[in-house]
Amino acid sequence: MTSISDITVKTIDGKDAPLSSYAGKVLLIVNVASYCGYTSQYKGLEKLNQKYRDAGLRILAFPCNDFGAQEPGSNQEIAEFCDRNYAVSFELFDKVHAKGSQQHLLYARLTSAVQPGDVAWNFEKFLIGKQGEVVARFKSAVSPESPELIGAIEQELAQ
């Protein structure tokens, strides 16, 4: 299994965040964008966060401008958009590249693990088990409310 525990990312306000600090938690990592047909998935992600946070789920959202230039804003603008439109309380991180020559190490690791291949669009989801291993991958069209995704989250939380 491919682990992400040794990677450090930056929060949306520029602080280092080692992914090892999430050991023992189930993570749902999502590349997000403010101007995408899937942007309304923020609502469902926030519902998942509210429902499963106390059980150990953490949603980590990484803004990404790689797909249709649908996330052009600054980190501050992105954070304000998420707060104003969706009252997002899960964690937002620094804008990253999910594909291409400047692909972030996190996405290089994620996309080589389960169903290897490039991220295809915004709001692709990666489920990470409690030991930091990539356990599942869900395409953009799989909504946060989908039984497939919820079942996989509940299975990991029960481990």
Of 26, 29, 36, 106, catalytic: 36
Whether residue 57 is contained in a domain is answered as yes
* Number of structural domains found in the chain: 1
Dist. CA 135–CA 82, nearest whole Å: 27
pLDDT-based confidence at residue 125 (cuts at 50, 70, 90): very high
- CATH number of the domain residue 98 falls in: 3.40.30.10
What's this model's pTM, rounded to 2 decimal places? 0.97
Give pLDDT tens digits for 35-65.
999 999 999 999 999 999 999 999 999 999 9
- Domain boundaries, position 78: 8-158
The answer to whether 64 is a known catalytic residue is: no
pLDDT-based confidence at residue 2 (cuts at 50, 70, 90): confident
Whether residue 30 is contained in a domain is answered as yes
Residues 64/67/73/78 CA torsion (nearest 10 deg): -50
List the end-to-end C-alpha distance of the chain, in Å, as a whole number.
16
Residue type, 84: R
Q: Are strands 91-92 and 57-63 parallel, antiparallel or unpaired?
A: parallel
Whether residue 24 is contained in a domain is answered as yes
CB of 60 within 8 A of CB of 91? yes
